Structure 1
Amino acid sequence: MSLKSLTKTWEPMSYGFLDASAKREIRRKMLKAIAVPGCQIPYASREVPMARGWGTGGLQVSCTLINPGMQVKVIDQGADDSVNAASIRKFLARVSGAPTTMNTLEADLIQSRHRIPEEKLREDQILVLQVPNPEPLRPVQPNMSIARQMHADADYGRMWLQLYEQIVRSGRVMQGASYPSLVNGRFVMTPSPIPRWDVPKMDMAAHLTILSAGREKRLHAVPPYTRVEPLVFDDVPYRVEEHAALTCSRSGARGFFMNEIPQGDGTSTYEVSDSELGVKTIRCRDGEAAQVGETWYKSGEMV
């Protein structure tokens, strides 16, 4: 055995940016997270060329999963063309050589900030969600050591009390994004800052979802066909945002989650949050060839 046989030719960067040791660790932690749905798994979050809090957790998972044969889609608040989405998409393409796409139906790996696409995902697709704060108990228990013990004991009484107090004070649950949800009947998780509109999309979904928080150094997962149930009282049903009657001012799409755009006269117009769905709708309206996949919602109602 020689020293030369134990080394390899120097390269300026490992494939996918992360070194082999980091990828192995993240893969092991993802497998553990898949085996225990909703459970937060700690990992050694590496440094990437992006500030903490801007998607470093999701980027590390994507760099670990990506390969040259994958088509990658990156969205930010539903938009493919925002600065954050465009920067991450360009980075992933540069470090992996993987082709990029804006079409949800063509993507193999989808990294998202704060939204799940309106078109249903398939079994062969992977959704990576960026998570700024993975701990659902933090608002009711700031001591993380105690919070982890509460998870171990499945002690979520304080979360139920928080929801009850919101109903008593406001007449309804005021929790908006990051709605606490019970995964596989065991762990309560924070499903990223996705709106309430998107939470039902995770229930018994065909695709794998990996949620990663780089700043907090934790990840959790929702495997395919896993039950995800928002915490609700039996006599107070879960309500999504009231966007069913809204129409996109640009595409004419109706019955989907909308972005409100204030106007100078004090009124508001609305645009469909999923920008690619809006583009497809416009193309279909103009007689161009565009395939719109099956959507989670139809006329504002979950299918």
Structure 2
Amino acid sequence: MRANTHFAFFDEGSKKEIRRATLKAVAIPGYQVPFASREMPIARGWGTGGLQLTLSLIGKTDVLKVIDQGADESVNAVSIKKLVQETTGVQVTDQTEEADLIQSRHRIPEIPLTKDQILVLQVPMPEPLRPVEAREYATKRMHSEDDYSGAWLMLFEQIVKYGKTATAADHPVYVNGRYVMAPSPIPRFDNPKMHQSEALILLGAGREKKIYAVPPYTAVESLAFEDYPFAVESFEGQECRLCGSAHIFLDELIDQKTGETVYQCNDTSYCMEQLNSTEKAGVENSYA
């Protein structure tokens, strides 16, 4: 931990203000709670909302994991881990099961989270109605009146134009049967992981100054029409070229040697765990 700095960077007053907003967000699932977003030593748009949540919640005995689009070793993930570790001295890990607090950009880990964990998602645009309504006061009124016709119209226009909903990520969800929420730019594949999740899910938008949440065991339903049901990305018949895993979110890559399309686990730590498990099983079988 750096000398002459507050634990977790913020002064206690700042942490308390963010925690109060977080408690309100947990009490009203899916509702966007305004908060006084602080200046951070990283640029807005690089995860300041999620980082402020993490810094306000982390304790000295917690174990932290940070991922960026499934990778633990990306520039964004490494930089955030370094800042948190240097201002707290906490332990960091790449293993999902070992982490108490997980901060993520654009992915929910493949390994199911538990009731003892908190997932913090970085959010660039928290307002799901912004594509159809630019005025903040108008979107607030629409939320209060439970008027989500704009969100439905957006999906309807996609169906008319493409024959299906075309939200590659950030597909809007109904939370607790009340608020329509932007789940952050996670792929559609991850939306079902929010439904009845054992872990607390917190979402922070630093630039937009909003915090919202999905408490444990909360109903989360992706918006969809009855005749055009919600569907996740399909990787049927494909598996990771490294660990052989299937039925998970895969990255589509081009093999530089052969030019062929190959698939690989997006969640790098999950892939490494599967490889280690396979190698361990192979060693045990050799001694059997």
On whether the aligned pair clears a TM of 0.5, the verdict is: yes
CA contact (8 A) 1:253 1:272 kept: yes
1:244 aligns with 2:236: yes
The answer to whether 1:135 aligns with 2:127 is yes
Q: Which moved more, 1:137-146 or 1:193-202?
A: 137-146
Between the two proteins, what is the percent identity of the paired residues?
A: 49
Deviation, structure 1 residue 12: 2.3
Counterparts of 2:184 and 2:281, CA distance in 1: 35
Q: Among 264, 267, 287, which residue is 1:271 paired with? A: 264
Q: Which piece of structure 1 moves more, 250-259 or 121-130?
A: 250-259
1:261: how far off? 1.4
Give 3-state SS (helix, strand or coil) of 2:252's partner: strand
1:56 aligns with 2:48: yes
Q: Which runs of 5+ in 1 are unaligned?
A: 1-10, 290-303
Q: Structure 2 residue aligned with 1:72, among 32, 43, 64?
A: 64
With 182-191 and 161-170 compared, the bigger mean Cα shift is at: 161-170
How far apart, CA to CA, are the structure 1 residues paired with 2:71 and 2:237? 21
Cα offset, 1:266, TM superposition: 4.6
Match of 1:253 in 2: 245
Per-residue deviation, residues 170-211 of structure 1 (Å, max 9, x unmatched): 111111100000000111010010000000000011110000
Residues 8-67 of structure 1 show CA distances to partners (whole Å, capped at 9, x for unaligned) of xxx722111011111010000000000100000010110111011000010000000001
Counterpart CA distance in 2 for 1:288 and 1:56 is 41
> 1:23 pairs with 3, 11, 15, which one?
15
Task: Report what 1:224 is aligned to.
Answer: 216
Q: Provide the C-alpha distance between the structure 1 equivalents of 2:250 and 2:192, rounded to a whole number of angstroms.
A: 17
| Whole-Å separation in 2 of the counterparts to 1:228 and 1:201 | 9
Distance 1:141 1:266, change over 3 A: farther
Check whether the contact 1:181–1:191 (CA below 8 A) recurs between aligned residues: yes
Which amino acid counterpart does residue 133 of structure 1 have in structure 2? M
Q: How far apart are the structure 1 equivalents of 2:146 and 2:4?
A: 47
Residue 95 (structure 2) pairs with residue 103 (structure 1): yes
> How many angstroms does 1:244 deviate by?
3.4
One-letter amino acid matched to 1:83: V
* 1:299 alignment counterpart: none
1:185 to 177, 183, 203: 177
How far apart, CA to CA, are the structure 1 residues paired with 2:75 and 2:242? 21
> Would the alpha carbon gap of residues 92 and 244 (structure 1) be closer, same or farther in structure 2, given more than 3 Å must change?
farther
Aligned to 1:296: none
**CA distance, structure 2, for counterparts of residue 244 and residue 218 of structure 1:** 37
Q: Which amino acid aligns with 2:195?
A: D
Give 1:267 shift. 2.9
Deviation at 1:88, TM superposition (A): 0.8
Contact 1:245 1:255 in 2 (8 A): no
Q: How high is the TM-score relative to the length of structure 1?
A: 0.89
Distance 2:45 2:255 in 1: 31
Decide whether the 8 Å contact of 1:244 with 1:256 is kept in 2: no
The answer to which of 224-233 and 242-251 deviates more is 242-251
8 Å contact 1:55–1:113 — kept in the other structure? yes
Amino acid at match of 1:284: S
5+ residue gaps, structure 2, are 283-288
Higher normalized helix content (fraction of residues): 2
Query: Could you give the per-residue CA deviations for residues 146-170 of structure 1, whole angstroms, max 9, x where no partner exists?
Result: 1111111110011111111211221
Which of 144, 157, 164 is the aligned partner of 2:156? 164
SS in 2 for 1:197: helix
* 1:196 is the counterpart of 2:225: no
**Residue 94 (structure 1) shift:** 1.1
Q: Which moved more, 1:168-177 or 1:193-202?
A: 168-177
Q: Which residue of 2 aligns with 1:5?
A: none
SS in 1 for 2:272: helix
CA RMSD of aligned residues (A): 1.3
Distance 1:211 1:80 in 2: 19
1:88-108 deviations in Å (ceiling 9; x for gaps): 112111111111111101100
